[in-house]
């Protein structure tokens, strides 16, 4: 079975066919093709390949723009650029943007295979390095970030790749997704881990105080400034500063932060001299900064200074397969903290937890678990202890009668997920008469991702299509 995947992006269909036919047997890999940058981005968002071979000249979005977007999604991705318009300037620009290699057309087939083999070897070494780190020191760092889903694996890999650098990181995601935990993990795995990690919750500090808190002040700078006070950037010197919810700060503070990022220095209030600081900046936001830039509420130049390496924390509803693991972790954590005997959730409650909307994400789930521990008098937590009504959730009621709570944890989790997917996907296909494209659109998935779920759970859309035709 071919395990490694190469994504080839070129607007010439003949070139795509040629490369697929020649590279698959030569390299022993599966070649996935895309004729536009937009379709390539859809593939990259679903599952990163081991290697991307990208043509430079394409309509709408060229190879250099796609390279930037691809590295934004997956900073560790190995990318090789190919073009018929090769020059030193383009090659240098591509390498600066993160390309591994640069190949000019027309290329010799043997040379191409040799170069791609080297690129794949680089990907293998990266994967092995990540695996060893994850099994070693990373285990302790990531113990508070729970999840084994594909979305969370990409988060872990991004953290590990960026941690050893001093690059500025912007962590985005809804409230309650664990942005602060990701920031602490980056610091804990960096070379700055033995120095200070200073966290600042920006929206909780009034604007007139935030400036002096961040940058400090000199004696006499304002009323009651009776002595010099170092700012948080100075306290974080040599370490990291985490600016939580940076999307809520004023434009005045934004301007001063831009100076810190550009010149690596601060100017305390009332001082005439600047102070050099060596600080790694990690920022987070649950806001749409692109929209705030359009409305003039956020500086575009500051956004690009912050968004050097973006990390997206997925909402809980997009990684429901992690919920049983999260619940188990939270039960262990809070039963001990509340001095209660270890409890477990009933099958009915686990089903409801998996299918709940979780607008507050992991933080909301944690609150439910804590309340459940307090209100459950026995070892098993029931629906009512967690604040749910006894009526079964739509489309998955048959789980209520399933003795899944008698199974070992892993088997119970797999059984619940299997039945959930069969009911959920089946309901969508019934509603759409077996139309996969329509069903995928209804549930917010890409068509390819929806098809992967169908294959994984042995479901065939033709069955539902035939049933609809007979009605």
**pTM for the full model?**
0.57
**437 falls within a domain:** no
Helix (H, G, I), strand (E, B) or coil at 152: helix
The arithmetic mean of pLDDT across residues 378-388, rounded, is: 92
Cα 460 to chain centroid distance, Å, stands at 30
Residue with the two structure tokens 């102070």: 275
221 vs 33, which has greater pLDDT?
33
Give me the pLDDT at residue 197, please: 95
Q: What is the rounded CA–CA span in Å between residue 457 and residue 323? A: 19
Indicate whether 251 and 366 sit together in one domain: no
Q: How many domains does the chain have?
A: 3
Question: Does 200 score more than 80 pLDDT?
Answer: yes
**224 falls within a domain:** yes
Contact 112, 85 (CB under 8 A): no
Q: What is the rounded CA–CA span in Å between residue 386 and residue 365? A: 10
Question: Does 24 score more than 50 pLDDT?
Answer: yes
According to DSSP, the residues that pair with 81 across neighbouring strands are 54, 102
The arithmetic mean of pLDDT across residues 332-354, rounded, is: 90
Q: What is the rounded CA–CA span in Å between residue 98 and residue 255? A: 29
The arithmetic mean of pLDDT across residues 257-280, rounded, is: 90
Q: What is the rounded CA–CA span in Å between residue 460 and residue 448? A: 14
Question: Does 132 score more than 60 pLDDT?
Answer: no
Residue with the two structure tokens 């190879």: 63
> In which domain, by residue range, is 222 found?
143-314
Model confidence band, residue 207 (pLDDT cutoffs 50, 70, 90): confident
Q: What is the rounded CA–CA span in Å between residue 92 and residue 86? A: 11
Residue with the two structure tokens 């290699």: 101
Contact 232, 213 (CB under 8 A): yes
* Residue where a domain stops, chosen among 103, 131, 159: 131
Count the residues in the chain.
471
CA atoms 321, 325, 326, 327: torsion sign: positive
419 vs 331, which has greater pLDDT?
331
Question: Does 470 score more than 80 pLDDT?
Answer: no
Helix (H, G, I), strand (E, B) or coil at 153: helix
Indicate whether 219 and 308 sit together in one domain: yes
Distances (CA, A) of 67 to 62, 102, 186, 391, 470: 9, 12, 24, 50, 48
- H-type alpha helices, 178-276: 179-188, 207-215, 232-235, 251-263
> For the chain, what percent of residues have pLDDT higher than 70?
89
Question: Tokens at residue 248, please?
Answer: 């809520």
**283 falls within a domain:** yes
In terms of Cβ atoms closer than 10 Å to its own Cβ (0-12, 13-18, 19+), residue 405 is: middle
Indicate whether 152 and 207 sit together in one domain: yes
Indicate whether 183 and 67 sit together in one domain: no
CATH code (residue 29): 3.40.50.2300
**467 falls within a domain:** no
**462 falls within a domain:** no
**470 falls within a domain:** no
Indicate whether 67 and 174 sit together in one domain: no
Contact 313, 155 (CB under 8 A): yes
Indicate whether 120 and 15 sit together in one domain: yes
Indicate whether 277 and 370 sit together in one domain: no
The pair phi, psi for residue 414, each rounded to 5°, is -65, -40
pLDDT single digits (tens) 86-129: 666 777 777 878 888 888 888 788 888 888 988 898 888 777 76
Q: Which of 137-151, 180-194, 378-392 bottoms out in mean pLDDT, i.e. has the lowest?
A: 137-151
Contacts of 231 (CB under 8 A, 6+ apart): 212, 213, 214, 215, 216, 217, 266, 268
**459 falls within a domain:** no
* Residue where a domain stops, chosen among 416, 431, 446: 431
Give me the pLDDT at residue 393, please: 43
**118 falls within a domain:** yes
Helices (H) and strands (E) counted in the chain, each on its own, are 20, 16
According to DSSP, the residues that pair with 282 across neighbouring strands are 169, 242
Q: What is the rounded CA–CA span in Å between residue 102 and residue 89? A: 11
- Residue among 430, 446, 115 at smallest CA distance from 459: 430
Question: Tokens at residue 295, please?
Answer: 């409305």
Contact 73, 42 (CB under 8 A): no
* Residue where a domain stops, chosen among 314, 343, 372: 314
Phi-psi group of 14: left, alpha or beta (phi > 0 → left; psi -120 to 50 → alpha; rest → beta): alpha
Greatest CA separation for the chain: 85
CA atoms 343, 348, 351, 357: torsion sign: negative
Q: Which of 55-59, 262-266, 298-302, 392-396 bottoms out in mean pLDDT, i.e. has the lowest?
A: 392-396
Indicate whether 214 and 234 sit together in one domain: yes
Contact 365, 345 (CB under 8 A): no
CATH code (residue 301): 3.40.50.300
| pLDDT, the chain, mean | 85
Question: Tokens at residue 443, please?
Answer: 């549930």
How many Cα neighbours within 13 Å face the side chain of 102?
20
Indicate whether 417 and 305 sit together in one domain: no
Indicate whether 72 and 60 sit together in one domain: yes
Q: What is the rounded CA–CA span in Å between residue 230 and residue 213? A: 8
Indicate whether 267 and 361 sit together in one domain: no
Contact 106, 113 (CB under 8 A): no
Question: Tokens at residue 90, please?
Answer: 């383009």
Indicate whether 225 and 333 sit together in one domain: no
């Amino acid at each position: 079975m071919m395990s490694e995947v190469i994504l080839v992006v070129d607007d010439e269909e003949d070139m795509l066919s040629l490369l697929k036919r020649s590279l698959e047997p030569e390299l022993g890999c599966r070649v996935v093709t895309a004729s536009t940058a937009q379709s390539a981005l859809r593939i990259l968002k679903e599952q990163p390949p081991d290697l991307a071979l990208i043509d430079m000249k394409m309509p709408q979005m060229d190879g250099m723009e796609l390279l930037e977007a691809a590295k934004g999604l997956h900073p560790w991705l190995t990318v090789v650029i190919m073009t018929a318009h090769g020059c030193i300037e383009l090659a240098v620009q591509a390498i600066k943007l993160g390309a591994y290699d640069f190949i000019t057309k027309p290329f010799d087939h043997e040379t191409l295979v040799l170069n791609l083999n080297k690129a794949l070897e680089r990907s293998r070494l990266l994967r092995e390095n990540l695996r060893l780190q994850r099994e070693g020191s990373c285990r302790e760092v990531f113990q508070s970030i729970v999840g084994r889903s594909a979305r969370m694996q990409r988060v872990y890999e991004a953290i590990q790749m960026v941690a050893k650098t001093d690059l500025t990181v912007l962590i985005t995601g809804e409230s309650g997704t664990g942005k602060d935990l990701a920031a602490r993990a980056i610091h804990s795995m960096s070379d700055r881990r033995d120095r200070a990690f200073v966290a600042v919750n920006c929206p909780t500090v009034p604007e007139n105080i935030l400036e002096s808190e961040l940058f400090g002040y000199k004696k006499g700078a304002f009323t009651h400034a009776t002595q010099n006070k170092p700012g948080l950037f100075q306290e974080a010197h040599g370490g990291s500063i985490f600016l939580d919810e940076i999307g809520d700060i004023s434009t005045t503070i934004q301007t001063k932060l831009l100076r810190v990022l550009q010149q690596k220095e601060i100017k305390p209030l009332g001082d005439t001299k600047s102070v050099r600081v060596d600080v790694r900046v990690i920022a987070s936001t649950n806001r749409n900064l692109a929209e705030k830039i359009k409305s003039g509420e956020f500086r575009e130049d500051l956004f690009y200074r912050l968004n050097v390496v973006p990390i997206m924390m997925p909402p809980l509803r997009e990684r429901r397969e992690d919920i049983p693991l999260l619940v188990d972790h939270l039960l262990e954590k809070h039963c001990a903290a509340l001095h209660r005997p270890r409890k477990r959730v009933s099958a009915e409650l686990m089903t409801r937890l998996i299918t709940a909307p979780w607008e507050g994400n992991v933080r909301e789930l944690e609150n439910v678990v804590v309340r459940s521990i307090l209100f459950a008098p026995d070892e098993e937590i029931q629906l009512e202890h967690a604040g749910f009504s006894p009526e079964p959730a739509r489309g998955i009621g048959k789980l209520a009668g399933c003795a899944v709570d008698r199974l070992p944890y892993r088997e119970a989790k797999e059984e619940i997920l299997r039945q959930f997917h069969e009911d959920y996907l089946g309901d969508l296909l019934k509603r759409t008469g077996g139309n996969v494209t329509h069903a995928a659109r209804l549930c917010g998935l890409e068509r390819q991702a929806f098809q992967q779920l169908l294959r994984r759970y042995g479901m065939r859309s033709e069955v539902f299509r035939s049933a609809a035709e007979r009605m």
